C-alpha cells in the first residue's frame, strides 16, 4: 500500500444509526479487508448497499483493514459519498464513484431567471436534501459554509457533489454556497463540473476574490458558464459593493449577509433594521449599477409569517428582487409578497400590449391612451408581467388568450 499513511477514520453523523444517513468506520490492519454492512433496510436493499460500498472500496484500492457500515436508510448517492469520505479521511486515494444522474441533472438556467426565493439546505444533511426540490423555490442552495461544522467540510463537499448529480432539484435553480479561502477553492474544484448553476461566494471584500473563484470555475467547469452571486458580509465588502458586483461577467446577482455584518458592525440586528439600512440600500444600488439582481438577506424567525411578510415588503421597497429562505414554509410567502397585485398586473398588461403595438407600427414612443409611457416604465411592466406569470396569478399564455 505504498507510502501513504493509513489511519483510522469515521464518516457520517454521530449516533449509532442515523436516520436516512449512515456511519462508516475504517480501522487499518494487516489482514485482508473485511467489510461489515448492517442496515435497517437490509431486507429490502442489502445487496444494493453491499454493492455500492464495494464499488467505492475498489476504486480506492482498499485491500486490508476493517470497514464497518451502519446504515439508517440512506439512499445510494449518500452511501457512496459517506464511504468515499471515510476512505479519504483514512488516507486512501482514488476516484470517487459517482451516482446515477437524476433525469433533470442537466437542467439549464439563464442569467435573468427569477430569483425571488432561494432555499438554504445544510450541505451535510441528506435527509433534508431529499425533498428540497418539491417546494417550488426559485433556487435551492446546498450550503457548504456556515451550516457545516469545520470538521465536516470535506464530507459535505462530496455529499453536495453527489447531490448535484443525483438529487431531485425540481424546477429550482441549482445553487451552492462554498466556503471562503482554500476550503472554498477545494469546494469549487469538487463541484465545478457537476452543473451548479449559481455559486454563492461568502464574505467577499474585494473583486480579486471573485476573480479567483471565476478562474477556478472556468477550469473545473470545463468551459460551462457558471454564474456567481457574491455575498457582502462586512463593512469593507459593503464599501466596495459596486466594484465587487462588476468584477466578473458571470456575476448575476449580489446579496448580503446581515448576521455577520451586524456582528462586525457591533450593532445587533433589529427587526426595524436601521443599523443595516445603508448596507441594504448600497447593495441594491451597486447591483443595479452593475446590471445584476439585488437579493436580500434571510429572515430567521421561521414561525413568524407576518414578520416575514413585512420584511419582504420592506426589502422589496428598497429594490431587492429576492429573499433567502431557511425553511420551505417561507417560500410561498416570499412568492406571494413578490407577486404583483391584480391592479398592477392589469396596468402592466396594458403597457406591454401598447409597447408591442408601438413596435409593430414602428413607433418609437409607447402611448397609453393619450399618455406617453417612458421606456423605464415599459421595462418595469414587462418585468411585472413576468413576475405575475411566475407567481401564478397570470397564465403563461395570457397574450395568446388575448388574441
Binding site for other proteins (CB under 8 A): 19-20, 40-41, 43-48, 72-76, 102-103, 130-131, 134-135, 168, 327-329, 392
Query: Which lies closer to other proteins via its Cβ, residue 235 or residue 391?
Result: 391
Q: How far is the CB of 35 from other proteins (least distance, A)?
A: 19
Sheet with 9-11: strands ordered across: 9-11, 22-32, 64-71, 34-39
Query: Which lies closer to other proteins via its Cβ, residue 18 or residue 221?
Result: 18
Q: How far is the CB of 388 from other proteins (least distance, A)?
A: 15
Query: Which lies closer to other proteins via its Cβ, residue 49 or residue 160?
Result: 49
- 328: cell is 420551505
Query: Which lies closer to other proteins via its Cβ, residue 242 or residue 299?
Result: 299
Please count the helices (runs of H) and the strands (runs of E) in the chain: 15, 14
The 8-class DSSP code of residue 283 comes to H
Q: How far is the CB of 329 from other proteins (least distance, A)?
A: 6
Query: Which lies closer to other proteins via its Cβ, residue 143 or residue 187?
Result: 143
Q: How far is the CB of 134 from other proteins (least distance, A)?
A: 6
SS3 371: strand
Q: How far is the CB of 128 from other proteins (least distance, A)?
A: 8
- 248: cell is 466578473
Query: Which lies closer to other proteins via its Cβ, residue 3 or residue 47?
Result: 47
Give the rounded distance of the alpha carbon of 369 from its chain centre.
45
Task: Look at strands 293-298 and 322-325 and give their pairing.
Answer: parallel
The full 3-state SS of 234-274, as one line of letters, equals CHHHHHCHHHHHCCCCCECEEEECHHHHHHHHCCCCCCCCH
Q: How far is the CB of 133 from other proteins (least distance, A)?
A: 10
- 237: cell is 465588502
Q: Which residue do the cell numbers 407600427 mark?
A: 361
Query: Which lies closer to other proteins via its Cβ, residue 57 or residue 75?
Result: 75
Q: How many residues does the structure list for the chain?
A: 403
Q: How far is the CB of 75 from other proteins (least distance, A)?
A: 6
Question: 10 Å Cβ neighbour count for 225?
Answer: 15
Q: CA 233 to CA 87: how far, in whole Å?
A: 35
The 8-class DSSP code of residue 194 comes to S
Amino acid at each position: 500500500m505504498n507510502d501513504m499513511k493509513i489511519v483510522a477514520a469515521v464518516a457520517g453523523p454521530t449516533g449509532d444509526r442515523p436516520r436516512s444517513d449512515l456511519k462508516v468506520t475504517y480501522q487499518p490492519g494487516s489482514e485482508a479487508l473485511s467489510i461489515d454492512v448492517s442496515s435497517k433496510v437490509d431486507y429490502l436493499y442489502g445487496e444494493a448497499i453491499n454493492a455500492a460500498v464495494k464499488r467505492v472500496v475498489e476504486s480506492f484500492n482498499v485491500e486490508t483493514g476493517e470497514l464497518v457500515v451502519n446504515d439508517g436508510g440512506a439512499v445510494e448517492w449518500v452511501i457512496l459519498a459517506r464511504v468515499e469520505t471515510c476512505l479519504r479521511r483514512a488516507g486512501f486515494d482514488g476516484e470517487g464513484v459517482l451516482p446515477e444522474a437524476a433525469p433533470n441533472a442537466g437542467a439549464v438556467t439563464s442569467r435573468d431567471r427569477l430569483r425571488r426565493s432561494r432555499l438554504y439546505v445544510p450541505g451535510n444533511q441528506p435527509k433534508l436534501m431529499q425533498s428540497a426540490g418539491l417546494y417550488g423555490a426559485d433556487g435551492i442552495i446546498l450550503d457548504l459554509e456556515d451550516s457545516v461544522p469545520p470538521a465536516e467540510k470535506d464530507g459535505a463537499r462530496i455529499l453536495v457533489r453527489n447531490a448535484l448529480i443525483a438529487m431531485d432539484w425540481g424546477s429550482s435553480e441549482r445553487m451552492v454556497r462554498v466556503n471562503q479561502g482554500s476550503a472554498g477553492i477545494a469546494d469549487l474544484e469538487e463541484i465545478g463540473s457537476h452543473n451548479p448553476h449559481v455559486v454563492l461566494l461568502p464574505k467577499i471584500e474585494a473583486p480579486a476574490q471573485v476573480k479567483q473563484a471565476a478562474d477556478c470555475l472556468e477550469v473545473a467547469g470545463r468551459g460551462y458558464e457558471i454564474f456567481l452571486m457574491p455575498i457582502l458580509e462586512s463593512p469593507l465588502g459593503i464599501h466596495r459593493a459596486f466594484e465587487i458586483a462588476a468584477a466578473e461577467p458571470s456575476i448575476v446577482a449580489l446579496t448580503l449577509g446581515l448576521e455577520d455584518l451586524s456582528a462586525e458592525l457591533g450593532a445587533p440586528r433589529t427587526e426595524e433594521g436601521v443599523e443595516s439600512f445603508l448596507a441594504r440600500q448600497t447593495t441594491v444600488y451597486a447591483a443595479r449599477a452593475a446590471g445584476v439582481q439585488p437579493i436580500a438577506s434571510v429572515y430567521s424567525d421561521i414561525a413568524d409569517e407576518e414578520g416575514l411578510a413585512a420584511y419582504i415588503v420592506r426589502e422589496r421597497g428598497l429594490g431587492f428582487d429576492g429573499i433567502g429562505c431557511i425553511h420551505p414554509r417561507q417560500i410561498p410567502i416570499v412568492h406571494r409578497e413578490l407577486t404583483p397585485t391584480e391592479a398592477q398586473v392589469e396596468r402592466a398588461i396594458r403597457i406591454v400590449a401598447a409597447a408591442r403595438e408601438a413596435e409593430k407600427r414602428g413607433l418609437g414612443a409607447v402611448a397609453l391612451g393619450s399618455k406617453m409611457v417612458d421606456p423605464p416604465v415599459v421595462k418595469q411592466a414587462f418585468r411585472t408581467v413576468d413576475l405575475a406569470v411566475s407567481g401564478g396569478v397570470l397564465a403563461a399564455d395570457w397574450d395568446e388568450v388575448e388574441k
